Amino acid sequence: MDKKYDCIFLDRDGTINIDPGYISDVKDFKFYDYAFDALRVLSKLSANFIIITNQSGVARGIIKESNLIEINEFIFKSFVENNINLLNIYFCTDHPENATSRRKPDIGMFLEASNDFNIQLSNCLMIGDALTDILPAVTLGMDSMLVLSGRGKTFIESLDEGFKPSYVEENLLIGARKLVK
């Protein structure tokens, strides 16, 4: 029996979309070709998805917040078109040198989502391509998957025993297929 989750949390850049660096315009936002196939597979484990993403490009002056909102609207529309239930997109625009508790690897955005949607975080999965995605999952007792797409390969060596993801997979689709046997 495949494990069922209350919610599957997703990082954005490098996890569901190609990460060319700071994406400042919706025309530069490209989902991985396999993203929605993977999400359809994962939807057998949870009816709910939430994106949790650091977007420091806003604080750095590289991305206008209005453009970030436009990208988020495009993501929501794409999820709807693919019949995937995206509850919300939580984003943190903090600069890393001036970070609040909302910025990953801190847990603020996860706690907000838990409150907003009455989600039991310990019965959730976090999928991302960076240590900053895995650390909050471990802290909150969530299952976690490090995908090696995006920046994932650069973090694989830096994972210590206390902060190992539950799964390490090549990309979202391969990971989804392994979870749904």
Q: Which of 6, 11, 19, 94 is catalytic?
A: 11
C-alpha–C-alpha distance, residues 19 and 82, integer Å: 21
* Residue 13 among the catalytic residues: yes
The SS3 of residue 9 is strand
13 DSSP β-pair partners? 17
* Residue 11 among the catalytic residues: yes
C-alpha–C-alpha distance, residues 159 and 149, integer Å: 16
Nearest alpha carbon to residue 128 among 171, 91, 92: 171
Q: Which of 13, 94, 106, 143 is catalytic?
A: 13
> Are residues 35 and 77 in contact, defined by beta-carbon separation less than 8 angstroms?
no
* Lookup: tokens for 147: 């995908």
Residues tagged active-site: 11, 13
